């Protein structure tokens, strides 16, 4: 039985509970009652710059180089495609802003896990942790590993080998190499991540610069038609034109009903949201920021606009570099554009750079995946060994708060090795058993189900606990807009991919069984002690 003021009592219970938090303006993390007395697993040694780099590294991945074709297929004009990219970026920003509000008001490890636990109760926090650990993050790592190998194959002119076992085993190898890199230490991972961030900006800058050069050449000599595409110069950017799909079929936009248009636009938006996916990941390192109340909003509110600018300028460059009927027929638009402009040799260079971009995204997501398992183990939702840092196995000496001997302190890894191994095994299974398109939909269903619950919870929390200290508080319309869109994304995904929705529900049922078994075993141990 819980009293009205019991801090473990979920928000949506019958009566409101009181929460009195000390002031957080000094930049220190303010602990909630249930978190007082519990220290995190990780040292607070990261700053806003490193959080900015992690968000950039995760979000600027394969999407900007693979999604443009699928988005262009589902919109009537290049101008509308750029609008979709802008809307997707604004929606990502609304979600990131709401997560930031929760991140500095409800400290804790594991992203949305502590928020859902605080708002709805322990079982919702567990289900979020379970979904991310066994579904969302492994699927994300599998997708990126597959894209890495597909980029190499595409540079060699091979585009139909993704289902072959050789392709899948190479994807697993890439996954293992990246996870080994993340096993060295937190600082080593963030330093390597900074290198990949530079690579991402260089790659996008090269595409944008190529577009600017083509614009300059064609403006100087309007009759020249051997550089880039001329459609940007001769056709209206917002005029309807038939879209060509990758299979050669065409869409006549003037013949579609409003319902059919909505279906195409929603598909285009889904592609943009995939490209922007990862905007939430900075909150997973809140427990490692030295002053999260200031650093987290700063990192996200600079990273997201930077990413939106990169995505829109890169896509505008694609429409300048390529004939418009080519954009929708390729899943490697950047490589195609550079190859057409500068030749096959430069196309291979572009493919190498894109592989580095994807590797950076892999590294960032792997970095986050291990920390999610650590957070869940610290909450008692996963076996305790997944919280151990720097050791493999179940030995008690691997407790995360044990101090290493002075002779070991310089060499001992602070990475969650057991958690990284678990992530590697699950991701490898997804690679071997799944494919890119199915994993993409599965990942979106899992993520946005809990994004919806989290953002709705943030709105409810403002009403139920207005006195909760919020160092960062966006306008109420921000979470409301994101809640509507994320709910739409989940419903649409479930309707168009019912089999994957059922698989996700089965995983939730298995997770609930795992949760109640652990609770029962803990209760039995308490009775016998």
Task: Tell whether the model's pLDDT for residue 235 goes beyond 60.
Answer: yes
Distance of CA 521 to the CA centre of its chain: 34
- Judge whether 85 lies within some domain: yes
- Work out the average pLDDT over 419-431: 92
Q: Is 403 helix (H, G, I), strand (E, B) or coil?
A: coil
Q: How many other β-carbons are positioned within 10 Å of the β-carbon of residue 116?
A: 26
By CB atoms closer than 10 A (0-12, 13-18, 19+), residue 37 is exposed
Task: Tell whether the model's pLDDT for residue 270 goes beyond 80.
Answer: no
DSSP class of 242 = P
- Tell which residue, 369, 350, 346, 55, has the closest CA to residue 197: 55
Spatial CB neighbours of 76, under 8 Å, sequence gap ≥ 6: 240, 241, 243, 253
Residue with tokens 């996870």: 179
Q: How many other β-carbons are positioned within 10 Å of the β-carbon of residue 183?
A: 20
Which domain CATH number covers 307? Answer: 1.20.1740.10
Spatial CB neighbours of 139, under 8 Å, sequence gap ≥ 6: 427, 430, 434, 439, 442, 443, 446
- Judge whether 204 lies within some domain: yes
- Judge whether 179 lies within some domain: yes
- Work out the average pLDDT over 469-475: 87
Beta-carbon-side half-sphere exposure of residue 487 (alpha carbons within 13 Å): 10
- Judge whether 490 lies within some domain: yes
Q: 46 has which bridge partners?
A: 289
Confidence band (pLDDT; 50, 70, 90) for 58? Answer: confident
The span from the CA of 105 to the CA of 474, in Å, is 13
Task: Tell whether the model's pLDDT for residue 398 goes beyond 50.
Answer: no
pLDDT score of 131? 93
- Tell which residue, 211, 92, 184, has the closest CA to residue 451: 92
pLDDT score of 27? 39
Task: Tell whether the model's pLDDT for residue 434 goes beyond 90.
Answer: no
pLDDT score of 158? 65
Distance of CA 403 to the CA centre of its chain: 33
Convert the pLDDT of each residue in 111-151 to its tens digit.
Answer: 688 888 888 999 998 999 899 899 999 998 998 888 888 77
pLDDT score of 503? 93
- Work out the average pLDDT over 96-104: 85
pLDDT score of 450? 92
Confidence band (pLDDT; 50, 70, 90) for 453? Answer: very high
Task: Tell whether the model's pLDDT for residue 495 goes beyond 60.
Answer: yes
Radius of gyration, CA atoms only, the chain: 24
Q: How many other β-carbons are positioned within 10 Å of the β-carbon of residue 49?
A: 14
- Work out the average pLDDT over 275-301: 76
How many domains does the chain divide into? 1
Q: DSSP string covering 404-425, please?
A: PPTTTTTT---S-HHHHHHHHH
Task: Tell whether the model's pLDDT for residue 484 goes beyond 80.
Answer: yes
Percent over 90 (pLDDT), the chain: 21
- Kindly report the average pLDDT of the chain as a whole number: 79
Range from 7-11, 66-70, 450-454 that averages highest in pLDDT: 450-454
- Judge whether 512 lies within some domain: yes
Q: Are 416 and 373 in contact (CB under 8 A)?
A: yes
> pTM of the predicted model, to two decimals?
0.74
- Tell which residue, 284, 295, 437, has the closest CA to residue 366: 284
Task: Tell whether the model's pLDDT for residue 373 goes beyond 60.
Answer: yes
pLDDT score of 452? 93
The span from the CA of 333 to the CA of 391, in Å, is 43
By CB atoms closer than 10 A (0-12, 13-18, 19+), residue 111 is buried
Say which range, 53-62, 127-136, 208-217, has the weakest mean pLDDT: 53-62
Q: Kindly report the backbone phi and psi dihedral angles of residue 243, in degrees, each rounded to the nearest multiple of 5, phi listed first.
A: -95, 140
Which residues span the domain enclosing 457? 48-394+411-528
- Judge whether 431 lies within some domain: yes
- Judge whether 3 lies within some domain: no
Task: Tell whether the model's pLDDT for residue 39 goes beyond 50.
Answer: no
DSSP class of 459 = H
- Judge whether 26 lies within some domain: no
């Amino acid at each position: 039985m819980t009293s009205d003021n019991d801090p473990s009592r979920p928000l949506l219970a019958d009566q409101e509970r009181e929460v009195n938090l000390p002031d957080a303006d000094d930049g220190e993390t303010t602990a909630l009652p249930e978190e007082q007395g519990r220290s995190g697993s990780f040292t607070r040694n990261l700053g806003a710059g490193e959080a900015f780099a992690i968000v950039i590294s995760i979000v600027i991945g394969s999407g900007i180089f693979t999604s443009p074709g699928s988005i262009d297929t589902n919109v009537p004009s290049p101008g509308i495609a750029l609008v979709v990219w802008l809307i997707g970026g604004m929606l990502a920003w609304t979600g990131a802003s709401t997560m930031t509000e929760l991140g500095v008001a409800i400290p804790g490890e594991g992203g949305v896990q502590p928020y859902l636990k605080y708002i709805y109760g322990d079982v919702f926090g567990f289900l979020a942790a379970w979904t991310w650990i066994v579904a969302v993050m492994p699927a994300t790592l599998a997708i990126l590993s597959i894209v890495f190998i597909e980029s190499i194959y595409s540079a060699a002119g091979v585009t139909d080998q993704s289902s072959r076992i050789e392709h899948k085993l190479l994807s697993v190898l890439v996954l293992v190499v990246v996870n080994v890199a993340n096993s060295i230490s937190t600082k080593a991972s963030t330093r390597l991540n900074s290198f990949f961030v530079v690579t991402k900006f260089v790659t996008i800058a090269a595409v944008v610069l190529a577009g600017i050069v083509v614009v300059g050449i064609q403006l100087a000599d309007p009759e020249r038609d051997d550089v880039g595409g001329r459609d940007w110069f001769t056709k209206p950017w917002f005029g309807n034109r038939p879209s060509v799909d990758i299979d050669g079929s065409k869409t006549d936009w003037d013949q579609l009903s409003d319902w059919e248009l909505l279906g195409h636009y929603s598909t285009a938006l889904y592609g943009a949201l995939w490209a922007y996916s990862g905007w939430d990941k900075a909150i997973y390192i809140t427990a490692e920021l030295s002053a999260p109340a200031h650093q987290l909003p700063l990192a996200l509110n600079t990273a997201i606009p930077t990413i939106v600018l990169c995505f829109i300028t890169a896509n505008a460059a694609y429409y300048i570099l390529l004939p418009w009927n080519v954009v929708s027929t390729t899943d490697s638009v950047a490589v195609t554009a550079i190859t057409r402009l500068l030749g096959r040799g430069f196309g291979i260079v572009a493919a190498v750079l894109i592989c580095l971009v994807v590797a950076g995204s892999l590294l960032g997501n792997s970095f986050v995946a291990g920390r999610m398992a650590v957070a869940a183990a610290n909450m008692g939702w996963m076996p305790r060994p997944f919280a151990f840092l720097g050791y493999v196995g179940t030995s008690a000496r691997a407790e995360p708060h044990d101090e290493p001997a002075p002779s070991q302190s310089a060499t001992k890894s602070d990475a969650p090795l057991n958690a990284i191994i678990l992530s590697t095994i699950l991701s490898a299974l997804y690679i071997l058993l799944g494919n890119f398109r199915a994993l993409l939909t599965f990942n979106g269903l899992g993520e946005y189900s809990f994004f919806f619950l989290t953002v709705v919870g943030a709105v409810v929390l403002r009403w139920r606990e207005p006195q909760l200290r919020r160092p960062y508080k966006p306008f109420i319309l921000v979470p409301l807009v994101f809640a509507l869109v994320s709910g739409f994304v989940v419903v649409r995904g479930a309707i168009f991919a019912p089999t994957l929705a059922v698989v996700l529900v089965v995983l939730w049922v298995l997770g609930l069984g795992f949760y109640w078994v652990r609770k029962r075993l803990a209760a039995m141990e308490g009775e016998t002690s």
